[in-house]
Structure 1
């Protein structure tokens, strides 16, 4: 698997986000075929998709398109299996999407989703989850090798985007509560190990687990449709009130910690919504701008998450903590991919060579082959670095791509930061293959 190994080891290469599209394509296709041949008979759904499309090897980009999984695939289990704790059935479902057997899982003492995820971890199935507004989690399996690659990419992306050296010189300030998961833990550890000096501060609020998030969303739905029991509603409201109180206190304590550490070299990590709240408090206490070190940097995960912030929120936050625009690290990614795409100084997300970008039509059936200028379509990807599952996915995102040289100077595919979810557009999100894939996975499990 020469091409595959060569392309994935470039995570630490200086030109990892600067390779012309035409130069990377041949090696990418060779690597994609190597990966496909290795995973074909290990992953049930991939085998089924290849059989249906009569794909025996990957020679062209168009050969990959029928092999992509709809992003909804990772939540295609019957919801009652999760709510009723049918963990053996959930394991069989997960097996249809995994490259190694999901077996030997001790579920006797498992009482909830968090417990099941921990039992999977004990057999080196590291499942990352995301919970949408429906309350139904996407569950994406990963191996230990996937975790190592994800960590390396996260540190490399920060270094490339900000120019900061991996010299352990920053005091890391966690300015937001972080959901407890293997993937989030790995991301935090990667930055801490590469850039942190060991004197970290973390937002003083109990981390919330995937299981608790899923339960909260389900309860909101049950309350809305009138099926929630009175005692469950009371418990939910008490928990929500306690969480809100902890959050408000956490913002105050975080603002105080930042003021106290203002003379140190800080790497401030969080989401814009919480960062803005903290910045307001810091300014109310009479500090901003030059009160903070000129060597500071920032890492921002996620979007606004529905927060209603003023148009100048970004500038306001950066000015508060004396951070130049080129020292803020943002990235584009999704749970279905193992690695992320860093944002450059020109405001575009750069696709590394181990991720094949496949721009598709709205239904996700056909490849858009145009490569001149800014091209718009549905984002599809094949992450060649993934070991524990198949890394091909049709996303729910509408994107604009340029395959040439970016204004920042880097070559290769880059994505405009103006990304829209098809689910937010008139007509909603309709991927042609999603129903077929979901039906097969449920049947096979």
Structure 2
């Protein structure tokens, strides 16, 4: 065994988490069936989630030194039940900010060593040529470690290390599909994000771009021509990105002499932070883009996620954010213990079984009202009522904007 930062590390096999893969595949099937309106046995899905949670717990005990230390202090063994794991091992989302910010830009060896203590990843023995965050991330990618990040509106970004399986789950948003989503190869993509895989919203855009016929980035020239061509050829368009980007689209379209009309099936998906300081609220932006492009207002939806989450919660026409059955949402108290209340209000925590490379029982900094009752839209499962607010004292979410120096 090797010691890093005074914590003993067990050199377990890289494939220690493969026992969870068949469970995750079953959850992906359930997610796609659920999100397209199919009948799903949510109790059976919950049982599969519990099995995946227990499998991931055993892997993380063996491969993540800090997690093992916390579990030992909490008296949680490798044979603990899912209920005990939930009760005692919820972690704060600042898990991914527990490094010394002075290391960024000057000591990537220490930053790499820290990464290995908080995640089940193994970096190369030497990080050569790393002079900034972008080159460090590029070096890690060559070893199959993909570090995504928040934009750090609070002054320090979260650095979330994913292995290839966890990254694949993020790119596919853990199997969630809208019932009216265009199929791969049948849409053009207007991406309101910068290129790259640095943030969760960028990864989502990359996943959509992989299935698109044409891709246009908001920052480049030719927005009007891109949309005119799609309208002329009756090509469905998916518009995806942060509300700030959608606000720019609305402003630019409003200056055109004509009104474009995209074909039926086109849609708008927003996500990420920076919703607070927009000149118009999100509903007004949806109304405007629907009017300017002829997009069905019911196909303009918002999504909720976090830097460490590998799926998205999509809003419906009734305004609720639907929690896909691949994960479990709970509200936790100040001690990060789940609240026993059928309709709690408070800090959101999410149990994500697709977090193979890091602990997936994380409390966010968001305050929500969690509901279990049926939604009028007909989609089953848990929902979050809007608005989703930040906890008192927490910085605003800023995952919709990315530092261009580190985005690739």
TM-score by length of 2: 0.81
Aligned to 2:133: 113
Moved more, 340-349 or 179-188: 179-188
Aligned to 2:50: 29
Aligned to 2:81: 59
Does residue 15 of the first structure (1) align with residue 15 of the second (2)? no
Partner deviation per Cα, 1:336-377 (whole Å, 9 max, x = no partner):
11222222332222222331222112x143211222xx3212
Indicate which of 265, 268, 285 corresponds to 1:295.
265
Structure 1 or 2: more helix by fraction: 1
Aligned to 1:193: 210
TM-score by length of 1: 0.75
Structure 1 residue 395 displacement after superposition:
0.7
Structure 1 residue 19 displacement after superposition:
4.7
Q: 1:61, 1:358 within 8 Å by CA — same for their partners in 2?
A: no
Determine the C-alpha separation between the residues in 1 that align with 2:90 and 2:131: 34
Structure 1 residue 97 displacement after superposition:
0.9
Determine the C-alpha separation between the residues in 1 that align with 2:191 and 2:21: 36
Secondary structure of the 1:181 match is coil
Aligned to 1:71: 93
Determine the C-alpha separation between the residues in 2 that align with 1:81 and 1:281: 41
Aligned to 2:406: none
Aligned to 2:306: 334
Partner deviation per Cα, 1:289-322 (whole Å, 9 max, x = no partner):
6x33233212222244443323422211222111
Alignment: residue pair count: 369
Determine the C-alpha separation between the residues in 2 that align with 1:385 and 1:418: 26
Aligned to 2:345: 376
Shift in alpha-carbon separation, 1:275–1:99, aligned structure 2, 3 A: same
Q: 2:103, 2:111 within 8 Å by CA — same for their partners in 1?
A: yes
Aligned to 1:321: 293
Partner deviation per Cα, 1:133-180 (whole Å, 9 max, x = no partner):
3432211110111122222336x43x32x5124241112222454565
Shift in alpha-carbon separation, 1:179–1:305, aligned structure 2, 3 A: farther
Query: 1:16-415 alignment to 2 at 5 Å?
Result: 16-17=34-35, 19=40, 22-56=43-77, 57-61=79-83, 63-83=85-105, 85-107=106-128, 109-153=129-173, 156-157=175-176, 159-160=177-178, 162-178=179-195, 181=198, 183-184=200-201, 186-194=203-211, 196-197=212-213, 199-205=214-220, 253-263=222-232, 264-265=234-235, 266-288=237-259, 291-311=261-281, 312-361=284-333, 363-371=334-342, 374-415=343-384
Structure 1 residue 7 displacement after superposition:
4.7
Runs of 4+ in 1 over 4 A off after TM superposition: 1-4, 17-23, 182-185
Structure 1 residue 378 displacement after superposition:
0.8
Q: 2:130, 2:136 within 8 Å by CA — same for their partners in 1?
A: yes
Secondary structure of the 1:368 match is coil
Shift in alpha-carbon separation, 1:186–1:365, aligned structure 2, 3 A: closer
Partner deviation per Cα, 1:198-234 (whole Å, 9 max, x = no partner):
x2222245xxxxxxxxxxxxxxxxxxxxxxxxxxxxx
Unaligned runs of 5+ in 1: 206-249, 431-445
Determine the C-alpha separation between the residues in 2 that align with 1:254 and 1:202: 8
Aligned to 2:400: none
Higher Rg: 1
Determine the C-alpha separation between the residues in 1 that align with 2:366 and 2:199: 25
Computed over aligned residues only, the root mean square deviation of the Cα atoms, in angstroms, reads 2.7
Shift in alpha-carbon separation, 1:37–1:344, aligned structure 2, 3 A: same
Unaligned runs of 5+ in 2: 1-17, 396-408
Q: 1:375, 1:401 within 8 Å by CA — same for their partners in 2?
A: yes
Structure 1 residue 127 displacement after superposition:
0.7
